[in-house]
Amino acid sequence: MRIIALDVHRSFAQMAILEKGKIRDAGRIDLERSRLLQFAMKLKPDDEIVIEATGNTSAIVRLLSPFVGRVVIANPILVRAIAWAKVKTDKIDAAVLAKLHASGFLPEVWMPDEETETRRRVVAERNAARLPDDPSQKPNPFRSARQPDPDTRPTRAPCSQKRGRAWLEAQPLAEDQRRVVLRHAGELDRLGGELAQVDKSLAQTALQEPRVKRLMRRWCADMKSNAFRSST
């Protein structure tokens, strides 16, 4: 069995091969699909690939997995903590990965399947899309119009809600300021509608997932038990 370690960078990977207790430098490989497939054809069914978790790890793992016995993904932070070295080169890093795996000290991480990765991307996109009136965001045109008149009583209601919008529309704004506010209000409505569709899609997907159903049953059970305890 050979252990083939890849020290992955953005456009290439440095390789080291550990075989029969001896480690050797295997050069670099460009991270192009055609080159990776050429490399994969030379692999053996009992080979094991070791690679650190980086941005392009999942694509490399999916290309190489069918050709080898196992692909191991290492935690880069823990690898550096375990095998700290004063001298760092790509060749040394690749050799360290191979040696750690051979000795059983390689800190591994789990790689999600394609379906889970898709859901992660959707959730990340949803979390990144903030409404302009979100209090965690920087000041925006809605906030600048919150107190146009010293005699006007301010509101804490978000402008994405009916009460906040009604308050905003009732303010004696200058024409240019009202134009800006109405334009941003339209953008807010559009974004809110798109986010509602994403939320609906996420909810429908979650309800079809057995693991989510188990969590929901557990949460409901905990809520019922807490309510029972509080009533006794």
For CA atoms 132, 138, 139, 140, give the dihedral sign: negative
Give the C-alpha separation, 170 to 167, whole Å.
5
In this prediction, residue 31 carries a pLDDT of: 92
Instruction: Look at residue 126 in the predicted model and tell me its pLDDT.
Output: 79
Mean pLDDT along residues 53-75: 92
Measure the CA–CA gap between 160 and 141, rounded to whole angstroms.
Answer: 13
Distance CA 143, CA 168 (A): 10
Burial of 159 (0-12, 13-18, 19+ CB in 10 A): buried
Q: How many residues does the chain have?
A: 232
Tell me which amino acid residue 221 is.
Answer: A
Query: 53-74 burial by CB neighbour count: b if 16+ within 10 A, else e?
Result: bbeebbebbebbeebbeebbbb
Residues 47 and 93: their CA atoms lie apart, in Å, by: 19
Tell me phi and psi for residue 5, to 5 degrees: -100, 140
Beta bridge partners of residue 76, listed in sequence order: none
Q: What is the model's pLDDT at position 227?
A: 47
Contact between residue 49 and residue 66 where contact means Cβ atoms under 8 Å apart? no
Arch. (CATH architecture) of 2-103: 2-Layer Sandwich (3.30)
Q: Strands, DSSP E only, in the chain?
A: 2-8, 12-19, 22-30, 48-52, 70-74
Residue spans of the domains in the chain: they are 2-103, 116-231
| Token pair of 56 as six digits | 């392009």
d(CA 148, CA 173): 7
pLDDT over 80 at 160, yes or no: no
The region of weakest confidence among 73-87, 118-132, 154-168, 204-218 is 154-168
Q: Rounded to an integer, what distance in angstroms lies between the CA atom of residue 60 and that of residue 73? A: 11
Tell me the backbone φ, ψ of residue 18, rounded to 5 degrees: -110, 115
- Name the pTM for this structure: 0.62
pLDDT of 131 > 80? The answer is no
